[in-house]
Structure 1
Amino acid sequence: MTVTEAPMPGEFRGQSGESQIKASQYIESLKNRPIPDKYGTLAQTPLTITVTEDQQTYDIKLSR
């Protein structure tokens, strides 16, 4: 399993100064960022998870 960032919301994309400021503020508002590199590639990730049909959410604790 790998962990990636979700796409930036559309209202924060763009080349204008205003869009760039809003994008920076959005990123700063996210908790636990940046995602550690070791979770971003399949070759390095120590994460494994078993997905079952009846479970809809999975709480995963990452360490830095």
Structure 2
Amino acid sequence: MSDTYIIEVGSQPAGIIVRAPGGYRFFAATHQFDRLEGQVFRNAREAERAAWRLASGMPLAA
């Protein structure tokens, strides 16, 4: 399993996630994804879903 992943929404870069204690920490690539900055996700898929939800205007999961 990789230590770093690039997260994209469509063809737009959302950020990167880096392995951290407890999962993967998100670093936003653009201001649109600042709300995810610093959040820790269990895995890459969870981070990608959060980025898609944010870009779609959907509420982020608690």
Normalized against structure 2, the TM-score is what?
0.23
Larger radius of gyration: 1
Hey, which of these two has a bigger chunk of strand by percent? 2
User: Relative contact order (C-alpha < 8 Å, sep 6+): which is higher?
Assistant: 1
